[in-house]
Amino acid sequence: MDIIRRYSYGFDKKTKVDIENAVMKSIVSGLGDKHSTYFTQKETSEFEEALRGDFEWIGAVINENIRGIKIMKIIVWSPAEKSGLKVGDIMTRVGDINIVGKSTEEAVKVIRGPKWTKAEITYKRWEENIDLHTSVIRDKVNVPSVGEKMLDNGIGYIEVSTFGEHTSDEFIRSWNTLTQSGVRGIILDFRNNGGWYLDTAVDLASIVLPESVPVVIIKQNNTSKNETLMTKVGIKNNINIPIIILINDFSASASEIFAGAMQDHKRWLLIGEKSYGKWSVQEPFDLWDGSIIKITTARWYTPNDISIDEKGITPDIGVMLTNKDYDSLFDRQLRAAEVIIIDQIKNKKSVDELKEIYKNNNFISLTGSTITK
């Protein structure tokens, strides 16, 4: 440090906080664990904001596209919806900043901003090549972690986007709404769900599995502290209707715990793509200045004592989305789940029978109206 202070060009422009943050990040990085992280004060605030599910932004879920940044989903009552933006629109500029070719993360930094500030969006609508313009006033947008809807043929659909602070209550409300309406089966969508709270995964598993069965095994450095988390007693559930679970390569952590428990107990079918493979436990520790160090303290294993860390969970029936599906916003995986669950309802087929029937079906021939989630 003496050498750096004396000879490093521009060191006088660095603050004590800059240096401390860099040192802390280096120490945690030295652990060689990609899931262990040091959050500065600002990053801690953003992390906690994400767990609560409220942001100051325009309320659009986006993804990279060769023509710009494509809107994949719009939050109800959000500034994006009020401005007239629609799913499928491709944003090309925010103010004077060209976002064509930027990553999703880079685009988010440009689009997000303080409440009541204005984002001037230039975009193209679907296949048209005409520049359209709209002004969006950023606001605090609460993002529900759970959403439900009725599909055709009496099939219910519940999407769980994360395992945050309010997910358990939101899931129970959605579950009760659908089951009380007399649904014949339910599709649970955990695609693109990066996880978070372990307790939430246990709560959700307790609704669809019998009482007091294992959900996940936690193994620590000190083996005497290893424990198995069981489904909770006294949670009203309805496990007499068929359930299908959707996962993909962005399903991670707590969502994989839920999916792994379902697969080990052979209760319901998993459909989609292999999951991400994050089965390590991170615990946050608050530091005196408002920053956080989040480090790996244990490993998760499925009820059958299987670790899928770095390997992921292989679905019972694999269904891949094609490039054309992405372009047209056609959800082939959801349509496949509908086909299979209707077969299960009508013909009373078991999970093993369905796996055998559909194991080599890639569902490429499926067609249908555009589905937007």
Three-state DSSP at 172 gives: helix
**Residue 68, Cβ neighbours under 10 Å: how many?**
22
Task: Verify whether residue 124 is a known catalytic residue.
Answer: no
250, 276 Cβ separation under 8 angstroms: yes
Q: Provide the token pair at 71.
A: 């809107």
> What spatial distance separates the first Cα and last Cα of the chain, rounded to whole Å?
53
Cβ-contact 255, 200 below 8 angstroms: no
Q: Rounded distance, CA 248 to CA 190, Å?
A: 8
Which of 206, 253, 275, 291 is catalytic? The answer is 253
Active site includes 278? yes
Cα distance between residue 124 and residue 11, in whole Å: 45
Q: Which of 203, 264, 316, 331 is catalytic?
A: 264
**HEC readout, 288-351:** CCCCEEEEEEEEEECCCCCCCCCCCCCCCEECCCCHHHHHHCCCHHHHHHHHHHHHHHHHCCCH
Give dist(CA 74, CA 110) in Å, integer: 17
Indicate which residue of 278, 280, 291, 316 is catalytic: 278
Which of 172, 74, 167 minimizes the C-alpha distance to 373? Answer: 74
By DSSP bridging, strand 269-272 and strand 317-318 are parallel
Instruction: Name the helix (H) or strand (E) containing 83.
Output: helix 79-83
- What is the number of other CB atoms lying within 10 angstroms of the CB of residue 322? 12
What are the Cα distances from residue 196, in Å, to 46, 47, 50, 120, 165?
14, 11, 10, 33, 9
Cα separation of 113 and 202, whole Å?
35
| Active site members | 253, 264, 278
